[in-house]
Structure 1
């Protein structure tokens, strides 16, 4: 009897320890497969690949001798002082008096863009758009007005110099790798190209050297690289730091009921959301790395897939569509400049764009909206090059200001 009791006791302990071990095994397995651990593994994988996982990874310290930040801040202050001298309605005309008042700010600004780096944002940006981006757009508009004044005085070399300064600003903004800065780059790039073709070159000829300067400056901005950096920055902020901030706030809340509710329910939901957000960014960045033009239908399917699961979504379609617009503008302008260079050498425009390859263009560019070569028509005097635009219908070079909705994106030469 005594031996039986001992045997049963030992068996009970064995079963108990076996149950505890089995329970621990399944708990550890559940922990390893939990959204929290999957997020940690995903972040570790990004680190091993050398990709940024926090704001400081994106904005490392800059040596003072390479940092234009103090000059930018000085230029902003000078700009505000100049603007205070005029009613807004007068300032917006960018007339000769406005340009004269803005000269000190423009001079300081030109010194600033000679520096390769800036650090105007020193913390993650969650929602707000930094004020300095509006200042940069203002400088681009001033430089556009200045270039038009130079053209009126037949100083085309100075006008092209103003264009180059806008493009240099566009490149410098890539040092602030967040999405709102990239969208500001796109806006400033559009201002520069409207200046270059619509305001300066559509009805005016310049020397071969100036055409080449403009073409080199146009090609210098690697917008696809900056777009990838902007998406990586958004992943750091919206996919990592925002969630860390939310969880920290929940854990440290002085409201005990809220803290209990957060730990019991919201914490798991937060990790699940973060995991899906990181996976979404992974797919978007993979597409962005392949370069423009982008297949918007494919991106829409990815977004719809995540929307169906009711997870938070970034405005991916809008961002990729903006890059396609920049791709179209850049390659049309590049083609128009190449046509002018061809004419400067041969005394006429070619019958087809293929004649520009490879001396003036590496290849005939593809229209991001229909996947076909961009359109070209040689006119009795001048030419037209165009993209079919956002409605994806070739309307024969029918120019429209809102070409992303209707009509075509057209560059026309009157020479």
Structure 2
């Protein structure tokens, strides 16, 4: 389920809702209540044609009551088992892949829909059972209610079979890594919007961002993470008063009470009341989100790799898979344009100076910790050199010194380990191939 909201605040709220286990089940429960109410209102005046009697056999009131009671009991039991399996999977994911990977599990719509269908069917049977005593004369209505409940129960059985298969597949390391990478691909347009999506903005050199003497600073009133910042709204409001803004935080930063957020430079005096209205342009929360934070998705893959390289797990193959995905993520981000540090709105002439993300910082986030954690694994060192070589083939030459520094750091950490002559020769050859890459 995708949503393309108008404002960054709605997008942040949707991120919270989409990673919950209550939203889709609550929607399906509401649909179940409406469907059951319509069914009860119609079936009391309904009659079954003769050719449908094979599918809707005539049942008595006591038979319908017993059937609905049995179905409701069975479904709520299956629901509790499904919830238990989900919690077990979450515990396993938290211990093996890291607690921040729980977001990927909770974002899975398959699990949310299965849980929603189960509780919605239970609610349908419960409401039908409650109104069953009011249907005394029309046996056809009893048959329709019983048959519809049985059909929903068959659907539940199919959902449970799918759920077991889905959960067994979902807890595999390769699948988790692929889901994290897919989430990154789905968020790339909001992380790094294309210039044509912002036609009224153009880059500006910092020297042209003139700081006036009329300035006022907006300070933080909470201790939370910055989740999203509505930059477009910041440079569109009050052009007759605001000349420019300097934003000191970016998405993913943690701020404490009293930390400076934005400094406004005006064409005249700026009131505190007007400045306080700009707080709505920043959304804070208890945790980081991937809405405007390119390093968030990268950090998730890094966390899986670090867990895999820990002494308790010692799974370098999972770490190698993470390195492949991290390399692909860096190549994809290289093809997108990162936001400029300083921009100006061509309509309002308000300039904006901000801290932004850069591909160099993303590369450092992707490989620094994995290199340090995998220094004793020759397979990791060799694959790191392969990743640097791949990036050198795809990235602009301005990033080659950075990649060279990463390769040099990998060779230095490997030299401090005790490897055989054969393994050291393989690493030297990998370094030679990297240096010879055009």
TM-score grouping bracket, smaller chain normalisation: 0.3 to 0.5
TM-score (norm 2): 0.32
**Structure with a larger share of its residues in strand:** 2
TM-score (norm 1): 0.33
Task: Work out which structure has the larger RCO, using CA pairs closer than 8 Å and 6 or more positions apart in sequence.
Answer: 2
